[in-house]
Amino acid sequence: MGVQVRVDGLTKSFGPQVVWQDVSLTLPPGEISVLLGPSGTGKSVFLKSLVGLLRPDRGRIVVHGIDLVSCSERRLYQLRRLYGVLFQDGALFGSMTLFDNIAFPLREHTKRSEKEIGEVVRSTMELVGLAGEEKKLPGEISGGMRKRAGLARALVLEPEIILFDEPDSGLDPVRVAYLNQLIVDLNAQTDATFLIVTHDIGTARSVPDNLGLLFRRELVMFGPRELLLTSDEPVVEQFLNGRREGPIGMAEEKDAAQVQAELAGLEARSGSDAGGPEPVGARASGAGVPPQLAPSPGVPERRAVARRLERVRAMLPTLPPAAQAAVRASLDRDVAAGAGPAERKGPPGGRPPGGAGAAIVSGERGGGPRTAGAAGPERGDAGGLATGQGGPAAPSPAGSSRAAPAPTEPPRAAPPRGVPVPGWPVSGEPSHGAPVPGAPVSDAPSPGEPSPSAPVSGEPVPGRRGDCQPGPEAG
């Protein structure tokens, strides 16, 4: 299972420019967390600080009881093996083949033979749908394939913590849906701790167990998805609904008087009997908490879901009445759908017995399978609510009644032994008579690729030397 990452009072600045300050949160072990925020709020800087590529000004990042901020370079180098990182553009070495790019962390951090490295690389490439593409260069493949190659490189060391820096940037909605399904399936198989930085609201609503929002150099909120998706905090509501009205402006911040006027106008329109047009750019969010994306058929159930639901039930009495009603409806729906502790399935841990590629079908040359929340064409803390800039606003009395449970889908039957499980498409011949649909080809290839370091870099990081300062034991 993944490990807990605890961040206490983290502050980072570049000269006089403060990126964010006093950020505190806990990434629960084995769960998927998403960090949102307007452009320029320091989300990517936060990821690089978590892995030790940037040194914060102050604060602590505690993993396995060790503070990454104050430990020695030698220990930091060792702790980086716990991490896998998918950078925005894949960060592949342009002069290396995909095989050598993905093998790089194994050659850098292990003493495995080339035969063992080859087996791991090929199985991981199959897992992300790149079987048969080992000899291609990054400039010869599409943008979506480069992202999957970067993800494969992040997975080869079997990390306990995986960081995703805007994995959906530059991808069309169909490929984003496939990528979201792949992330959920990988979490179900590995039970690692995931942190995703994204601007995609669909991803934020359907994928994570926990949500957080950075704004105005502070962490506004962080906690289980049910809490943020029912929050009345103005900046959270604005971002999750894609509205113009609210604290976020084109240059990130607005004048306080302008914000108050916009919110008053929005409230007047929403409370008017006559209705009226929606603000330009608004997107309906729907009532309550939207369903969470489930693993593909045949992939083990995500144990993180049951852990989150237990945590949310314990926090329920502290929430406003309107949020309680929406959360209860979501919990009833999830339990009825088999997400509760009594309904968990699958092996006790790790990947399925069929190997790394057991949950994959189809190829890059066609359409992929339809999965819940990822429909495409047929072709082709531990759990607390961290608040930075205030808490949720007062609830509306109208939401105090308990909402009825949403209708649920019938349980899915497990596929017969030997039939591949729908997931992220891979190329190759069908096995046991299964059809081989394919995933649509992603974006057109870009002319060149930079050659940054591997996701878990072995480069020395500027900073203090000395003995590690052990922090409190991680929970």
Whose tokens are 């004048």? That residue is: 255
Six-digit token pair at 356? 């790394």
Per-residue model confidence as pLDDT tens digits over 209-224 = 999 999 988 999 999 9
DSSP state at residue 52: T
Per-residue model confidence as pLDDT tens digits over 33-48 = 999 988 888 899 999 9
DSSP letters spanning 63-129: ETTEETTTS-HHHHHHHGGGEEEE-TT----TTS-HHHHHHHHHHHH----HHHHHHHHHHHHHHTT
Six-digit token pair at 16? 């006089």
Residue 162, beta-bridge partner list:
84, 194
For residue 367, what pLDDT is reported? Answer: 37
Q: How long, in residues, is the chain?
A: 475
**pTM of the predicted model, to two decimals?**
0.66
pLDDT at 100 over 90: yes
Whether 225 and 237 have beta carbons less than 8 Å apart is answered as no
Indicate the pLDDT class of residue 142, thresholds 50, 70 and 90. Answer: confident
DSSP letters spanning 191-223: --EEEEE---HHHHHHS-SEEEEEETTEEEEEE
Whose tokens are 């002319």? That residue is: 447
Amino acid symbol at 426:
V
Indicate the pLDDT class of residue 255, thresholds 50, 70 and 90. Answer: low
Q: Is the dihedral of CA 346, 351, 355, 360 positive or negative?
A: positive
For residue 220, what pLDDT is reported? Answer: 93
Indicate the pLDDT class of residue 174, thresholds 50, 70 and 90. Answer: confident
What is the distance between the alpha carbons of residues 180 and 438, in angstroms, rounded to a whole number?
Answer: 17
Whether 394 and 464 have beta carbons less than 8 Å apart is answered as no
Whose tokens are 């808490």? That residue is: 391
For residue 264, what pLDDT is reported? Answer: 63
Residue of 75, 83, 193 whose CA lies nearest to 470: 75
CA dist 410 to 290, 336, 375, 407, 413, Å? 18, 10, 18, 10, 9
For residue 35, what pLDDT is reported? Answer: 95
Average the pLDDT over 169-185 and give the result: 88
pLDDT at 145 over 80: yes
Whose tokens are 């959360």? That residue is: 327
| Residue 351 neighbours by CB under 8 Å, 6+ apart | 189, 190, 358
Per-residue model confidence as pLDDT tens digits over 353-399 = 333 333 333 333 333 333 333 333 333 344 444 444 444 444 444 33
What is the distance between the alpha carbons of residues 269 and 306, in angstroms, rounded to a whole number?
Answer: 39
pLDDT at 177 over 60: yes
For residue 65, what pLDDT is reported? Answer: 92
Per-residue model confidence as pLDDT tens digits over 265-299 = 656 655 444 333 443 333 334 456 888 999 999 89
116: left (phi over 0), alpha (psi -120 to 50) or beta: alpha
More confident residue, 89 or 82: 82
pLDDT at 425 over 80: no
